[in-house]
A and B are shown apart, each in its own frame.
Chain A
């Protein structure tokens, strides 16, 4: 059966920030390949116009006035935050910068 390579699965998993257990790799190699083969059919479809339909919305977009504002107290939001410290949201130390 056609499969993705192990590296391809790990690359896609990293893009999606989803850990894949070693035991699952084989399963994903097959399943992802099946889905990707499906969507590959799109390459064969001929379409004349190159216009893209991003959203079926046809109405005029009405924007927000700069002066319309509202705030929510952090105490409310905090209830769902996994880790806080004082008025801050806490996460493992960010590296990068």
Chain B
């Protein structure tokens, strides 16, 4: 008897970050007051026709390219017909026959092992109305109707929950990095349906679909409990039914929603109101150009530059900072330390974005260069940070000013000697072993140098001077 193998395929719906809806020219924004971002097309009033959002198509294309898909250059839509009150036209406009992208992949890494997860297809479609329910009535809000969506359908290539979670993390990263979607699972702008099957052979077992799971870690737990459930069923001699289930977070188990009707009859046919739209090669190239360097490529650049892996992940997690580092040609280790350290602290404190400050990329490059050449030290950097961030003063001038206020080692020696001899009490205390004394003396020296001196140097000189006493 062999072991059971789990196979997982995932369908992900993501809302596109557009200003207006996909096939309606009303605002793409829901969650506020009901039925305000609507017009007659949302309500499918008799005689209305769809109009297609060009930017939505572009985002769909961008996602397909970023997921390594083959592009269907002739963009066409189909109608998926079914009756439900949240579907005003009685059909959803989608891409059933010729999705914008097919045969793509995402590369994941789990426990050091790399693996490609196939993307069966990615297609563009529209969301439905939001409904709320009371005892005998339901209430419809049309604001969400027509919100642009892409559905990304994976191949059943994942073999466990870790791979599935890595796949989702990677997908999310890519869609965030390409500005296609917010990917906020908790707000519903990214939704996952998970298909799980188990089998002892290479032939796939009967799969179940677990719908609308609220977070990536829940997806992991749902896969684990669902595959265990299926194994138990099979072990008890039962068969698995093709059915839709939901994941109960609290009970940590999946619960049957409904057995699948034999072949849902959606009566698909080509949408006659939207003639084919041709994606020109030049346009596809333009969109390719717009795709920024994706996370994995960035990781590789950082790794080769010698940045520690903990900092690499910090950079990837902070796209704004990572973007700021793009095309940076200086010392990436110093640069990333500055950005993740003092600069991030400053940005967090002030609530600013790096783009809102006066620290242009050019200025930043000069700064890193000066640090790299040891023209300035960290201490000076800390002291000129605010000036760098909040003024348009030339960086060379800032550094010059700082330096002119600073002391050579010889000058410092003289100063240290003077401070020590004018504070005999502190010398006594130092000799009596009181640490406070050295701190006090350091403070006095730093005060005189207006903080421009390297504290390590001052400390050494002070120790030497005290030793002579």
Contact = CB atoms under 8 A, between A and B. Distances in A.
A15 B266 CA distance: 10
Contact of A54 (B33, B51, B84, B270): B270
Contacts of B55: 65-66
B38 interface: yes
Scoring A15, A55, A63 by chain B CB atoms within 10 A of each residue's CB, the highest score goes to A63
B26 A70 contact: yes
B276 A69 contact: no
A74 B140 contact: no
B139 A67 contact: no
Scoring A55, A61, A85, A88 by chain B CB atoms within 10 A of each residue's CB, the highest score goes to A88
Interface in A43-97: 52, 54-55, 57, 59-61, 63-72, 74, 77, 80, 85-94, 96-97
A54 B265 CA distance: 21
Interface stretch (B17-25, B63-71, B226-234): B17-25
Contacts of B132: 88
Interface in B243-279: 257-258, 265, 267, 270-272, 274-278
Given A71-B37, A91-B85, A63 B57 contact: yes
B238 interface: no
A55 B43 contact: no
Contacts of B57: 63
A89 B142 contact: yes
Closest 3 CB pairs of A and B: A66-B55, A63-B54, A88-B139
A17 to B, nearest CB: 5
A77 B84 contact: no
Contacts of B141: 87-88
Contacts, number: 117
A60 to B, nearest CB: 7
A72 B35 CA distance: 9
10 contacts: A15-B267, A52-B270, A60-B278, A66-B18, A67-B19, A71-B26, A88-B35, A91-B139, A94-B131, A96-B258
B136 A93 contact: yes
Interface residues of A, number: 34
Contacts of B83: 17
A68 B55 CA distance: 11
Contacts of B19: 66-67, 69
Contacts of A91: 85, 137-140
B86 A94 contact: yes
Given A70-B26, A71-B26, A74-B35, A15 B265 contact: yes
A71 B38 contact: yes
A34 to B, nearest CB: 22
Contacts of B461: none
Contacts of A65: 54-55
Nearest to B271: A54
B305 interface: no
Contacts of B35: 74, 77, 87-89
A92 B276 CA distance: 38
Interface string B22-55: 0001110000011111111001010000011111
Given A86-B34, A94-B84, 17 more contacts: A54-B76, A63-B51, A66-B19, A66-B20, A68-B25, A69-B25, A70-B25, A71-B27, A71-B38, A77-B38, A77-B40, A85-B139, A88-B34, A88-B132, A90-B140, A94-B85, A97-B257
A67 B136 contact: no
Contact of B137 (A57, A70, A90): A90
B290 interface: no
A64 B57 CA distance: 10
B140 A55 contact: no
A15 B45 CA distance: 22
B139 A89 contact: yes
Contacts of B271: 54
A92 B54 contact: no
A33 B275 CA distance: 33
Contacts of B138: 90-94
B84 A93 contact: no
Scoring A70, A71, A89, A96 by chain B CB atoms within 10 A of each residue's CB, the highest score goes to A89
Contacts of A92: 136-138
Contacts of B131: 94
Given A93-B138, A94-B84, A67 B20 contact: yes
Contacts of A54: 76, 270-272, 275
